[in-house]
Homo-oligomer: A and B are copies of this chain.
Amino acid sequence: MSLTVVGSIAFDSVRSPFGERKRMLGGAAVHFSLAASFFGDVHVVGPVGDDFGEEQLAVLEGRGVNTDDIERVKGGKTFFWRAHYDFDLNTAHTDETQLNVFGDFEPKLSEASRQADNLFLANIQPDLQRQVRAQCEGARFAALDSMNMWIDTARDSLVAAIGEVDCVILNDAEIRQLTAEPNLARAARAVMEMGPRAVVAKQGEYGAALFTESGFFALPGYPLEDVRDPTGAGDSFAGGFLGYLDSEGGELDDPTLRRAMGYGTVLASFNVEQFGTERVATLSRAEIDDRFEALRSMTQIESLPA
């Protein structure tokens, strides 16, 4: 099986109460691919500028990510984001955004990326998501992320894109905003009525909830005493979620989706322990599986004694 992700590749400068980093490797497609790389074959599609070097490529290739579809734009500069967090790590305060080559991004997929069994459309303009979706028509499972800006400025395109995927992975506030429905259970149902068979509501430190036709499932965030940089947690979640699904040959039924939620939660939790990609770049599959089992045991209620 294989998994393609299309989205941003970035340099991030981040300051939190626990430290600061300048021009780290970042971006949705990067965090996603590194997280997904523990489960199988990942192809990353996105644009970079002349400032993107071997050091950055090596992080992705060190995890076995296929970088053939990283497009190098001559004379261009890589997407740059600068932000800080206060003690409430749930809120990123953006100080500077330079779209650079990402502003003119037109995804170009190689045959190998188009043939992927599974597809993740990270947060990009929804018409571009639709173009990519159309090129990967053989994908058995496609999911997308988005953001409040597209709900505000390109809602019709976003709704059309949602109608063409199997799953949306959004923050709970975005699900409410998209549907103008304050009740999350109703809002998730309204999103499913647009087409997808699964809706994942990301809830920051509170975890994530999964809505499907047959039911509801939720996991808390993995409890951590040291969170240094939440940047990329949502994309790492999506990477663990789609990565696990890509590694599953069988039917993507509810028990499988629940386990994928567990792997998403685990990858997000490792991501936030250090700045940028630092923690995930040194992670092992054994550490992931150990934390998955720990998370499972933290959420189980035993049956009542007979």
Which residue numbers of A lie inside 8 Å of B, CB to CB?
87-89, 182-186, 189, 203, 205-207, 209, 215-220, 223-227, 255, 258-259, 261-262, 296-304
Contact = CB atoms under 8 A, between A and B. Distances in A.
A262 B302 CA distance: 11
B301 A262 contact: yes
A298 B215 contact: yes
B259 A301 contact: yes
B218 A185 contact: no
Contacts of A203: 206
B227 A223 contact: no
A225 B186 CA distance: 6
A298 B214 CA distance: 11
B299 A217 contact: yes
Contact of A87 (B182, B259, B300): B182
Contacts of A186: 225
Contacts of A87: 182
Contacts of A258: 300-302
Contact of A206 (B206, B215, B300): B206
Nearest to A303: B296
A87 to B, nearest CB: 4
Contacts of A215: 297-298
User: Which of A185, A227, A298, A301 is the most central at the interface, judged by chain B CB atoms within 10 Å of its CB?
Assistant: A301
A294 to B, nearest CB: 9
User: Which of A89, A182, A189 is the most central at the interface, judged by chain B CB atoms within 10 Å of its CB?
Assistant: A182
Contact of A217 (B182, B205, B298): B298
Contacts of A182: 87-89
Contacts of A227: 183
11 contacts: A183-B227, A184-B223, A185-B223, A207-B218, A215-B298, A216-B223, A218-B298, A220-B220, A262-B301, A296-B303, A299-B300
Given A183-B225, A301-B258, A209 B220 contact: yes
Contacts of A189: 225
A119 B301 CA distance: 24
A302 B255 contact: yes
Contacts of A226: 183
A191 to B, nearest CB: 14
Contacts of A218: 207, 220, 223, 298-299
Given A223-B216, A259-B301, A184 B207 contact: no
Nearest to A250: B305
A227 B261 CA distance: 26
Contacts of A88: 182
A258 B300 CA distance: 8
Nearest to A261: B301
A71 to B, nearest CB: 38
B302 A299 contact: no
A174 to B, nearest CB: 15
